[in-house]
Protein backbone atom coordinates (compact mmCIF):
# COMPACT_ATOMS: atom_id res chain seq x y z
CA UNK A 1 0.00 0.00 0.00
CA UNK A 2 1.26 3.46 -0.90
CA UNK A 3 0.18 6.51 1.09
CA UNK A 4 1.19 9.98 0.02
CA UNK A 5 1.30 12.66 2.71
CA UNK A 6 1.64 16.30 1.68
CA UNK A 7 2.40 19.49 3.59
CA UNK A 8 1.91 22.94 2.02
CA UNK A 9 1.62 21.43 -1.46
CA UNK A 10 -0.91 22.76 -3.95
CA UNK A 11 -3.66 20.26 -4.88
CA UNK A 12 -2.50 19.83 -8.50
CA UNK A 13 1.04 18.90 -7.45
CA UNK A 14 -0.36 16.56 -4.78
CA UNK A 15 -2.45 14.78 -7.42
CA UNK A 16 0.50 14.53 -9.82
CA UNK A 17 2.72 13.18 -7.03
CA UNK A 18 0.09 10.59 -6.07
CA UNK A 19 -0.31 9.36 -9.65
CA UNK A 20 3.49 9.30 -10.05
CA UNK A 21 3.90 7.23 -6.86
CA UNK A 22 1.19 4.83 -8.00
CA UNK A 23 2.71 4.56 -11.48
CA UNK A 24 6.27 3.93 -10.23
CA UNK A 25 4.95 1.44 -7.68
CA UNK A 26 3.19 -0.49 -10.44
CA UNK A 27 6.17 -0.29 -12.82
CA UNK A 28 8.88 -1.31 -10.34
CA UNK A 29 7.16 -3.69 -7.93
CA UNK A 30 5.78 -7.01 -9.12
CA UNK A 31 2.01 -7.50 -8.64
CA UNK A 32 2.58 -10.39 -6.21
CA UNK A 33 4.84 -8.18 -4.08
CA UNK A 34 2.73 -4.99 -4.17
CA UNK A 35 0.30 -6.01 -1.43
CA UNK A 36 3.05 -6.68 1.12
CA UNK A 37 4.88 -3.40 0.53
CA UNK A 38 4.00 -0.46 2.82
CA UNK A 39 5.22 2.96 1.70
CA UNK A 40 4.48 6.24 3.46
CA UNK A 41 5.81 8.91 1.11
CA UNK A 42 5.84 12.52 2.30
CA UNK A 43 6.11 15.48 -0.03
CA UNK A 44 6.60 18.86 1.58
CA UNK A 45 7.03 22.40 0.36
CA UNK A 46 9.14 23.85 3.15
CA UNK A 47 11.52 21.61 5.12
CA UNK A 48 12.13 24.25 7.79
CA UNK A 49 8.62 23.57 9.14
CA UNK A 50 9.55 19.99 10.01
CA UNK A 51 10.77 18.84 13.37
CA UNK A 52 14.57 18.63 13.33
CA UNK A 53 14.44 14.90 14.11
CA UNK A 54 12.81 14.12 10.76
CA UNK A 55 15.42 13.52 8.08
CA UNK A 56 14.77 14.30 4.45
CA UNK A 57 15.06 11.71 1.71
CA UNK A 58 15.48 8.11 2.80
CA UNK A 59 17.16 7.98 6.22
CA UNK A 60 19.75 5.24 6.67
CA UNK A 61 17.98 3.93 9.75
CA UNK A 62 14.78 3.50 7.74
CA UNK A 63 16.60 1.65 4.97
CA UNK A 64 18.24 -1.00 7.16
CA UNK A 65 17.31 -4.61 6.44
CA UNK A 66 16.15 -6.86 9.23
CA UNK A 67 18.34 -9.84 10.01
CA UNK A 68 16.95 -13.38 10.18
CA UNK A 69 19.28 -16.30 10.82
CA UNK A 70 22.21 -13.89 10.36
CA UNK A 71 21.08 -13.01 6.84
CA UNK A 72 19.67 -9.65 5.75
CA UNK A 73 16.06 -9.65 4.56
CA UNK A 74 14.43 -7.26 2.09
CA UNK A 75 12.57 -4.32 3.66
CA UNK A 76 8.82 -4.18 3.31
CA UNK A 77 8.06 -0.89 5.07
CA UNK A 78 9.29 2.55 4.12
CA UNK A 79 8.75 6.01 5.51
CA UNK A 80 10.38 8.88 3.67
CA UNK A 81 9.95 12.58 3.17
CA UNK A 82 11.23 14.68 0.33
CA UNK A 83 11.08 18.38 -0.40
CA UNK A 84 9.39 19.37 -3.62
CA UNK A 85 11.70 20.78 -6.24
CA UNK A 86 11.18 24.19 -7.84
CA UNK A 87 10.37 22.62 -11.23
CA UNK A 88 7.64 20.01 -11.62
CA UNK A 89 9.89 17.86 -13.83
CA UNK A 90 12.56 17.79 -11.12
CA UNK A 91 9.98 16.75 -8.50
CA UNK A 92 8.83 13.86 -10.71
CA UNK A 93 12.46 12.81 -11.30
CA UNK A 94 13.20 12.87 -7.57
CA UNK A 95 10.12 10.73 -6.85
CA UNK A 96 11.18 8.28 -9.58
CA UNK A 97 14.69 7.97 -8.11
CA UNK A 98 13.23 7.30 -4.66
CA UNK A 99 11.07 4.54 -6.13
CA UNK A 100 14.10 2.93 -7.78
CA UNK A 101 15.72 2.88 -4.34
CA UNK A 102 12.57 1.49 -2.70
CA UNK A 103 12.39 -1.23 -5.35
CA UNK A 104 16.05 -2.17 -4.77
CA UNK A 105 15.54 -2.43 -1.01
CA UNK A 106 12.18 -4.22 -1.15
CA UNK A 107 13.33 -6.88 -3.60
CA UNK A 108 16.63 -7.53 -1.83
CA UNK A 109 18.84 -6.27 -4.65
CA UNK A 110 20.17 -3.78 -2.09
CA UNK A 111 20.35 -4.54 1.60
CA UNK A 112 21.89 -2.38 4.28
CA UNK A 113 22.83 -3.88 7.63
CA UNK A 114 24.33 -2.76 10.90
CA UNK A 115 25.20 -5.05 13.81
CA UNK A 116 25.05 -2.31 16.44
CA UNK A 117 24.40 1.44 16.34
CA UNK A 118 28.13 2.14 16.72
CA UNK A 119 29.14 -0.09 13.78
CA UNK A 120 29.22 1.21 10.21
CA UNK A 121 26.33 0.37 7.89
CA UNK A 122 27.31 -2.39 5.45
CA UNK A 123 25.94 -2.72 1.93
CA UNK A 124 24.93 -5.88 0.09
CA UNK A 125 24.22 -5.71 -3.65
CA UNK A 126 22.68 -8.68 -5.47
CA UNK A 127 23.62 -10.91 -2.52
CA UNK A 128 27.28 -9.85 -2.50
CA UNK A 129 28.63 -8.16 0.63
CA UNK A 130 30.30 -4.92 -0.51
CA UNK A 131 31.47 -3.74 2.91
CA UNK A 132 30.91 -0.50 4.85
CA UNK A 133 28.79 1.92 2.86
CA UNK A 134 31.04 4.86 3.75
CA UNK A 135 34.00 3.08 2.14
CA UNK A 136 32.20 2.92 -1.24
CA UNK A 137 32.50 6.16 -3.21
CA UNK A 138 29.03 7.51 -4.00
CA UNK A 139 29.57 7.41 -7.77
CA UNK A 140 30.63 3.73 -7.57
CA UNK A 141 27.63 2.52 -5.56
CA UNK A 142 25.66 0.20 -7.87
CA UNK A 143 22.29 1.27 -6.45
CA UNK A 144 23.14 4.91 -7.21
CA UNK A 145 24.02 3.91 -10.76
CA UNK A 146 20.58 2.27 -10.99
CA UNK A 147 18.93 5.45 -9.72
CA UNK A 148 20.81 7.61 -12.21
CA UNK A 149 19.99 5.30 -15.12
CA UNK A 150 16.46 4.11 -14.39
CA UNK A 151 15.09 7.19 -12.57
CA UNK A 152 15.23 9.53 -15.60
CA UNK A 153 13.79 6.82 -17.86
CA UNK A 154 10.82 6.35 -15.52
CA UNK A 155 10.28 10.09 -15.10
CA UNK A 156 10.28 10.58 -18.89
CA UNK A 157 7.92 7.63 -19.34
CA UNK A 158 5.54 9.06 -16.74
CA UNK A 159 5.67 12.56 -18.25
CA UNK A 160 4.98 11.22 -21.76
CA UNK A 161 2.01 9.17 -20.57
CA UNK A 162 0.36 11.53 -18.10
CA UNK A 163 1.59 15.06 -18.47
CA UNK A 164 1.08 15.97 -22.12
CA UNK A 165 -2.17 17.68 -21.17
CA UNK A 166 -0.36 19.97 -18.71
CA UNK A 167 2.12 21.37 -21.26
Q: pLDDT category, 165, cuts 50, 70, 90?
A: low
Residue 58: the pLDDT is 40
Using one digit for the tens of pLDDT, what is the confidence trace for 116-159? 778 888 999 999 999 999 999 999 999 999 999 999 999 999 99
Pairing of strands 122-125, 110-113: antiparallel
Q: pLDDT category, 50, cuts 50, 70, 90?
A: low
pTM to 2 decimal places: 0.86
- Whether the per-residue pLDDT at 24 is higher than 80: the answer is yes
Weakest-pLDDT range from 5-9, 10-14, 92-96, 121-125: 5-9
- Whether the per-residue pLDDT at 160 is higher than 80: the answer is yes
Residue 126: the pLDDT is 94
Using one digit for the tens of pLDDT, what is the confidence trace for 53-106? 344 344 445 678 887 887 788 888 888 888 899 999 999 999 999 999 999 999
Residue 55: the pLDDT is 42
Domain that includes residue 75, residue range:
2-166
Residue 59: the pLDDT is 44
Residue 54: the pLDDT is 47
Amino acid sequence: MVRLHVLDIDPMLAEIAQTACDYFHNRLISPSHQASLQVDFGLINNPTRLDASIMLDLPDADALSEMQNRKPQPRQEFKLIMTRKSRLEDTILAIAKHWVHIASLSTGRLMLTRKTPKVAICAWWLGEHLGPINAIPTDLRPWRKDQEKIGPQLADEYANLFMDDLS
